[in-house]
Amino acid sequence: MTREYNAIVIGAGSVGAPTAYFLAEQGLKVLVLDELASSGQGQNKAAIGGVRATHSDPAKIQICLQSLDIFSTWKEKTGTDIGWKEGGYCFPIYENKDEELMISILPIQKKFGLDIDWYDSEGVRRVVPGINEKGLIGGTYSPKDGQVSPLLSSESFTNEAMKLGTEFRYLEKVTDLITEGGKGNLAVKGVRTSKGDYKADVVVNTAGADASSICKMAGLDIPVNPDSHEAGISAPISPFLEPLVVDIRPGPEGKTANFYFGQNLEGQIIFCYTPIEIISGIDRRSTSEFMPVMARRMVNLIPRLKNITIRRLWRGLYPMTPDGVAVVGKPSGVEGLFLGIGMCGQGFMMGPGVGLNLASLITKGKPSVKKEIFDYLSPDRDFYSGKKEALK
């Protein structure tokens, strides 16, 4: 028997779970399919939970402002605590060229609604107590950014979507799209899984690191290539650090492009770095290199962190696009298929805003941010134009 829905969402992750919720809120009968055993078990749970609108791309700024609004008011709206902590983001700056970069993007960040300012070294010292003062020039601070628990939030989006009638089916991999027509006038009419066929006039691809393979089922060649990043978390210590801190300097050890960390509501220090040499592929085994490199960088920046106990390390995937910008919207030439993919290192913070915009696009024919802003994320753009976001 083929079951029918208004919309099918492929993947119950950082993007899929909120997208299902916002579609259900618009009154649609929604089915969510995930090959894993519950929501948020893909790359969602690898995220360290940072949520910032501090970007240089206007679409990312505005969509993340929407996410911040959704995350920060979620407890009020639903009664569920998802670990929201409004501590802001701080980018401490030690090099003149980085000062120039950060100051040069302030006007665009402010223009698109971000609450952010340049702080002198004294101001940064107040925001990040114990920070290494040697060579500290200053930094940016955006107080309305924050942190959320990825697992608590995906569970809560799922529960709230279910209350609105959404069906979640787990351990069920989408193996094909059901289509009508041919190249140029293809219409997606549903999906095929290992367990059966499901029909819907709208199918949303939010399949994370596997999103390209779903696109190929509709004849679309959209480049989403995973690369891996490691992270870790300490045992809890007394709260002392309000913001998430991003050090954009490449490390002296020659391995790290930047690193970032914060203290969550439980008092744990949670941290991650971006390797200089991108590690392409889907290998998720932890390395012996990560923790010694990370420890040196963190202790150099905040010496008082030298005595923390590390509790757990993990490695996850960024679903990357060539230009470092997500792919959201409806691709031309294929009816019924919508994309919320290629989230790179920012899918958790983008997820709710992307879901809100996709739900609006699907039910009202237009995104909730201005179309010209939304179009920065267009699936029809040239991914290889060479333009990259200044602040990744």
Looking at residue 115, its amino acid is: D
Scanning 8-16, 98-106, 114-122, 156-164 for contacts with ligand FAD by CB under 6 A, the matching segment is: 8-16
Taking CB under 6 A as the criterion, the residue among 13, 243, 352, 353 binding ligand FAD is: 13
Decide: is 272 part of the binding site for ligand FAD (CB under 6 A). Answer: yes
Distance between CA atoms of 34 and 55, rounded to whole angstroms?
Answer: 30
Q: How far is the CB of 165 from ligand FAD (least distance, A)?
A: 20
Give the one residue of 131, 161, 207, 325 binding ligand FAD; rule: CB under 6 A: 207
Using CB positions, name the residue nearest to ligand FAD: 13
Min dist CB 122 to ligand FAD, Å, is: 28
47: contact with ligand FAD by CB under 6 A:
yes
> Is 14 or 125 the residue whose CB approaches ligand FAD more closely?
14
* C-alpha span between 251 and 253 (Å, rounded): 5
Residue 118 is which amino acid? W
Burial label, 378 (beta-carbon count in 10 A; 0-12, 13-18, 19+): middle
Which residue in the set 8, 11, 83, 94 belongs to the binding site for ligand FAD (CB under 6 A)?
Answer: 11
Q: How long is the chain?
A: 392
What does the alpha-carbon distance between residue 392 and residue 389 come to, in Å, rounded to a whole number?
6
DSSP state of 236: P
Contact stretch for ligand FAD (CB under 6 A) within 103-111, 206-214, 292-300, 378-386 = 206-214
> Which parts of 12-111 fold into alpha helices (H)?
16-25, 58-78, 96-111
Give yes or no for residue 204 binding ligand FAD (CB under 6 A): no
The answer to whether residue 222 forms part of the interface with ligand FAD (CB under 6 A) is no
Give the integer Cα–Cα distance in Å for 343 and 348: 8
Verify binding: residue 232, ligand FAD, rule CB under 6 A: no
Place of tokens 């179009």: 375
Listing DSSP states for 261-313 in one string gives: EEE-TTS-EEEEEEESS--BS------SSHHHHHHHHHHHH-GGGGGPPEEEE
For ligand FAD, the binding residue among 347, 355, 367, 379 (CB under 6 A) is 347
Q: Using the rule CB under 6 A, is 46 a contact of ligand FAD?
A: yes
Q: Which stretch binds ligand FAD (CB under 6 A): 9-17, 23-31, 181-189, 363-371?
A: 9-17
Distance, CA of 106 to CA of 13 (rounded, Å): 32
Rounded to 5°, the CA angle 326-330-332 comes to: 115
Q: Strand 117-120 relative to strand 138-142: parallel, antiparallel, unpaired? A: antiparallel
Q: Which is nearer to ligand FAD, 277 or 372 (CB)?
A: 277
Q: Is 300 in the site for ligand FAD (CB under 6 A)?
A: no
Q: Given candidates 7, 8, 9, 10, which one binds ligand FAD under the rule CB under 6 A? A: 10
Identity at 383, one-letter amino acid code: F
From the list 21-29, 91-99, 343-351, 371-379, the region that binds ligand FAD by CB under 6 A is 343-351
Count of residues touching ligand FAD (by CB under 6 A): 40
Can residue 65 be called a binding residue for ligand FAD (CB under 6 A)? no
Q: Does 297 bind ligand FAD (CB under 6 A)?
A: no
Distance CA 96, CA 103 (A): 11
Residues that bind ligand FAD (CB under 6 A): 10-16, 33-36, 41-44, 46-50, 173-174, 206-210, 229, 231, 272, 316-319, 343, 345-349
